[in-house]
Amino acid sequence: MKRFFIFMAVSVVALAMSCSPEVVDDGEGNPNDAPGKPVEDENATLSLTSEGVMHFSAGGGDGVITYTLEGASDDAKVDAVCDADWVTITEVGSDVKFTVAHNDLTEERMAMIFLSYAKQSAQVVVEQQGQPNVEFVASKLNGMFEKKDATHPDAYKYTVILSKYGTTGVMDYYANDSYYKFIIYSSIPAAGSPSLCVGEYVYDADNTYAADTFASDRSEVVITDSEGKQTVHKIEDGRVIVAEDMVVALITLDNGELHRVTYSGSLSLSFAQRVVSGPFSTLTEDYSFNIENGYMLLIYDGDAYGVGNGSWDVRFMAKQDMSEGDFFRFTVAVDDVSYNDELLYRSFVCDEDATYAGGTFKPGRLDEELNFSGSWYLPLEKASFTSIQAPFVGGNLSIERHNTTEAIVTVDVVDDRGHKVVGTCHCSLVELLDLSNGM
């Protein structure tokens, strides 16, 4: 895909060749691109005092070019022309005013405005964004500030993630959201409480880590569906503009889509704080399953709670290698501390009152170190947990022996958001472990 900057360079050359004002001979062998100008003005110097490149959104708008004429008469003014039909010169005087029409296309477009006076000329590039394929309004800004290091000695690194629901970490993404991650480099360090610095940051395809850029490496868009499955797109072009209490990004993805992302709010950088009290489920609706050829792992933890009952960790999954698919774990209690898996083939109810009595399973929660504890649904993708998670806080579990090496697990439970999780798993017993001695 062509980069904005390559496209700009080629376009500027083409425009300069096709749109430059015609040079006219003044009859005395001297080229003069503005016949009729007073002789005393031919040595005047034309200089731009406004930007040489002006950016406009797809909605268009008005622009003003300011300039100076040194050595010209007081009432002197430039000529201004533009061949693009979407740029209209509206006034030429002490400055040049123009309007840019609405762009109905998805492609960015460019034009050149030529200013001339006697032998002097100047050019202004007009860039206009195309209509984005996706307009995304972010309500959360998360991220962190990093000091200089050997990989980027000339700039300070900021990781910035824009989304609707926020994130507690760089890879902690929730269902039904889009996460726009930018690895930004600035010449300005974050002072005091880290905040994103105001400025314009352009796409750095070569990962030079120069100031006022965002790197190709690890700048990406992660889109999660209702089940938390992730679709990742690399960013292949664009710019990020940071103003006071506002961020606007216009980026092109590896699928060719143009996305416009806007955020209004604080520029402070931090990650969301995970609340240990929950709810923790990221399910958005009830879930049912039927695993025909599953696998079971049974882990014995002895009298883990000191109440004279045996504690077991029952895990069953769709894939033995835990590469993908459904994964369930239940912490159950039986009436005997013997290392005997026959005690597990029975029914269990959720131990909502934390009695640790035999025939119960422990509700799911996060412990003080944010580790999964108790009974959970934790699906897998690429041998890692996804953003979908559901702790079980009510319901029933049944484990029935099918033969000497197989069992049928029946689940009818509810998570901490009230969603029901129901289904069966026909399991082969893969492994039986005794960890009661801390092995």
Choosing from 112, 128, 144, the residue where a domain stops is 128
Name residue 435's amino acid: L
Does a structural domain hold residue 276? Answer: no
Same domain, 157 and 245: yes
Please state, in angstroms and rounded to a whole number, the distance separating the CA atoms of residues 155 and 26: 53
Q: How many alpha carbons fall within 13 Å on the CB side of residue 270?
A: 8
Burial class (CB in 10 A: 0-12, 13-18, 19+), 145: buried
Whether residue 277 is predicted with pLDDT greater than 80 in this model: the reply is no
Q: What is the pLDDT of residue 3?
A: 40
Q: Which of 16-25, 182-191, 362-371, 406-415 has the highest mean pLDDT?
A: 406-415
3-class state of residue 431 by DSSP: strand
Does a structural domain hold residue 68? Answer: yes
Query: What tokens were used for 189?
Result: 């360090």
230: Cα separation from own chain's centroid? 11
Specify whether the CB–CB gap between 361 and 351 falls below 8 A.
yes
Same domain, 229 and 351: no
Same domain, 331 and 399: yes
Same domain, 296 and 428: yes
Domains held by the chain: number: 3
Q: What is the pLDDT of residue 387?
A: 87
Same domain, 259 and 334: no
Does a structural domain hold residue 274? Answer: no
Question: What are the tens digits of pLDDT across the range 100-158?
Answer: 999 988 888 999 999 999 888 999 999 998 888 999 999 999 998 876 656 667 788 99
Same domain, 145 and 239: yes
Does a structural domain hold residue 280? Answer: no
Q: What is the pLDDT of residue 73?
A: 81
CATH number, domain of 44, equals 2.60.40.10
Does a structural domain hold residue 33? Answer: yes
Same domain, 103 and 175: no
Percentage with pLDDT > 90 across the chain: 59
**Arithmetic mean of pLDDT, 16-33:** 44
Does a structural domain hold residue 269? Answer: no
Choosing from 77, 95, 128, the residue where a domain stops is 128
Same domain, 144 and 231: yes
Q: For the whole prediction, is pTM greater than 0.85?
A: no
Same domain, 314 and 407: yes
Does a structural domain hold residue 300? Answer: yes
Same domain, 124 and 154: no
Query: What tokens were used for 422?
Result: 């129901």
Choosing from 128, 148, 173, the residue where a domain stops is 128
Does a structural domain hold residue 272? Answer: no
| Domain assignment of residue 403, given as a range | 287-434
Same domain, 291 and 306: yes
Grade residue 20 by pLDDT with cuts at 50, 70 and 90: very low
Q: 253-259 — which CB contacts under 8 Å span 24+ positions?
A: 253/221, 254/1, 256/1, 257/133, 257/134, 257/233, 258/106, 258/130, 258/131, 258/132, 258/133, 258/134, 259/132, 259/133, 259/134, 259/135, 259/136, 259/180, 259/221
Q: What is the pLDDT of residue 366?
A: 79
Please state, in angstroms and rounded to a whole number, the distance separating the CA atoms of residues 201 and 181: 13
Please state, in angstroms and rounded to a whole number, the distance separating the CA atoms of residues 218 and 233: 10
Question: What are the tens digits of pLDDT across the range 187-242?
Answer: 888 766 788 999 999 999 999 999 999 999 989 999 998 878 889 999 999 999 99
Whether residue 34 is predicted with pLDDT greater than 50 in this model: the reply is no
Question: What are the tens digits of pLDDT across the range 374-428?
Answer: 999 999 998 888 889 999 999 999 999 988 889 999 999 999 999 999 999 999 9
Same domain, 425 and 304: yes
Q: What is the pLDDT of residue 23?
A: 43
